[in-house]
Amino acid sequence: MKNILEVKNLMVWDKVSGKKIIQNSSFDLKAGSCLAIVGESGSGKSITCRAIMRLNSTSLQQSGDIIFKGDNINQLSTKELRKKRGKNLCMILQNGMTAFDPSCVVGVHLRETLAEHFDWSKNEAEVRMKSAMESVMLINPTEIMNKYPHQLSGGMLQRIMIALAIVLEPDIIIADEPTTALDTISQFEVVDQFINLRERIGCSMIFISHDLGVVRKIADEVLVMKDGEIIERGNTEEIFSGAKHEYTKYLVSTRMALSNNFKRIMEEGQ
């Protein structure tokens, strides 16, 4: 399988203190596959992904090569990068609230995003958006588009972002802890929507999560990060059944213990 993205020697550091946050990371993403990045809070997962989109805060600097379809993202101008964000590289954040402007209804955000990338009429953009929203089980899309972000639940906002991705058909979707803010039932539903999304548009995906149950369900390959470094990588089953690094073994065993405990409680409650 060909690589759609290659990250080489990525370094991210704090401009003021000089503290290194990501140390010399290199990895690639195969076309059509899902790569999960796992690790505890503060391991550098989100900063790595925001570095790919060049969306980290201005206090952070980055170096290295991020090659997407032959272009080095680290060398693109802001204008060139804006054209790629959304249409080629689409990021779905963990908290739907932060993705939408709180001062206008969500439909405005959706229309503006589509207008940036396509020369569709207002009507065509709306028809496509409604159809995508219905496909992710959002009933009454017109009503939803006329609501403000705070009037919608976290799960609904995640689905709206997934629906937008269906319309944009990006090459790569980067999902940063997309199930963290959701209750268990919404988590299962949103993960299923991500799996359907991959099948539907054939995109590649980077999925950041500390929930290894979700990772096992969705990912083809896994990268394990600790303190800003990649300490282990492999296909998903290799990582779950034959992890080599002590930290990975610890992550897998604590996660599996949690998962088994949850199952037991559920069974006892029946």
Q: Is residue 210 classed as helix, strand or coil in its secondary structure?
A: coil
* Mean pLDDT estimate for the chain: 89
Mean pLDDT of 83-99: 84
- DSSP state letter for 85: B
In this predicted model, which residue has the larger pLDDT, 222 or 252? 222
User: CA–CA separation, 40 vs 18, rounded Å?
Assistant: 23
What is the band of 257 on the pLDDT scale with cuts at 50, 70, 90?
low
Torsion angle of alpha carbons 206, 212, 213, 216, nearest 10°? Answer: 50
With a cut of 70, say whether residue 261 has pLDDT above it. no
Structure tokens belonging to residue 234: 């492999």
User: CA–CA separation, 181 vs 14, rounded Å?
Assistant: 28
Structure tokens belonging to residue 174: 């980067």
pLDDT given for residue 266 in this prediction: 59
What is the band of 150 on the pLDDT scale with cuts at 50, 70, 90?
very high
Q: Please give the backbone phi and psi of residue 58, each rounded to the nearest 5 degrees, phi first.
A: -65, -15
With a cut of 80, say whether residue 182 has pLDDT above it. no
User: CA–CA separation, 60 vs 21, rounded Å?
Assistant: 9
Number of continuous H segments (helices) and E segments (strands) in the chain: 11, 10
pLDDT given for residue 235 in this prediction: 95
| Domains of the chain with bracketed CATH | 3-265 (3.40.50.300)
Angle (nearest 5°) at CA 181 between 100 and 264: 160
With a cut of 70, say whether residue 155 has pLDDT above it. yes
What is the band of 267 on the pLDDT scale with cuts at 50, 70, 90?
low
Say what percent of the chain tops pLDDT 70: 94
With a cut of 90, say whether residue 184 has pLDDT above it. no
With a cut of 90, say whether residue 60 has pLDDT above it. yes
Q: Integer distance in angstroms from the first to the last C-alpha of the chain?
A: 45
pLDDT given for residue 93 in this prediction: 79
pLDDT digits (tens, 9 = 90+) for 1-18: 799 999 999 999 999 999
Mean pLDDT of 188-204: 86
Spell 117-151 as b/e; 16+ CB within 10 A means b.
Answer: beeeeeeebbebbbebbebbebeebeebbeeebee
Residue reference for tokens 């991210």: 12
Say what percent of the chain tops pLDDT 90: 60
With a cut of 70, say whether residue 119 has pLDDT above it. yes
With a cut of 60, say whether residue 262 has pLDDT above it. no
With a CB cutoff of 8 Å and minimum separation 6, the contacts of 90 are: 164, 165, 168, 170, 172, 173, 174
